[in-house]
Amino acid sequence: MAAPGQGLPGAAPNIVAFPGQQRPALQVGFDRFELTRILDLYGRMVAAGEWRDYAMDFTADCASFAAFRRTADVPQMRIEKRPALHQRQGMWALFGEHGQVLKRGHELAGVLAPLERRLVKIVD
């Protein structure tokens, strides 16, 4: 017979986290809604002939999506999500081809707005 609190022999112990105590995330990623919104824009830009390739990168502090005009080029634009900045200038940032910050914000839709406007100009 097992001692109190030890459970069955060979069984994993029951570990319960305290309320409000969370493990730090191992990497930042996009949720389904965010990724759907980004890939929808990417698909429309591919259909317009602007982009041909993309890359995603996930690190402990940042998730990024980069779109390329040609595979060997530098990215034409890059969208970054940095949750650590959500209380400051916003966790979303849009970077241009040369690394300049084009837009920052708290909402993904607002950060994608310059690309959406550009897409409307391309189609017209």
- The string of pLDDT tens digits covering residues 108-118 is 999 999 888 87
Q: Which of the two residues, 11 and 53, has the higher pLDDT score? A: 53
Q: Give the bridge partners for 65, in sequence order.
A: 56, 79
* Beta strands per DSSP E along the chain: 53-58, 63-68, 77-81, 92-95, 101-105
Q: Which of 86, 89, 75, 78 lies closest to 112, judged by CA?
A: 78
Confidence of residue 8 (pLDDT cuts 50, 70, 90): low
3-state helix, strand, coil in the chain (%, to 5): 30, 20, 50
Mean pLDDT (whole number) for 60-78: 87
For CA atoms 70, 100, 87, 27, give the dihedral sign.
positive
Predicted confidence at residue 15, as pLDDT, reads 65
**DSSP code for 111:** H
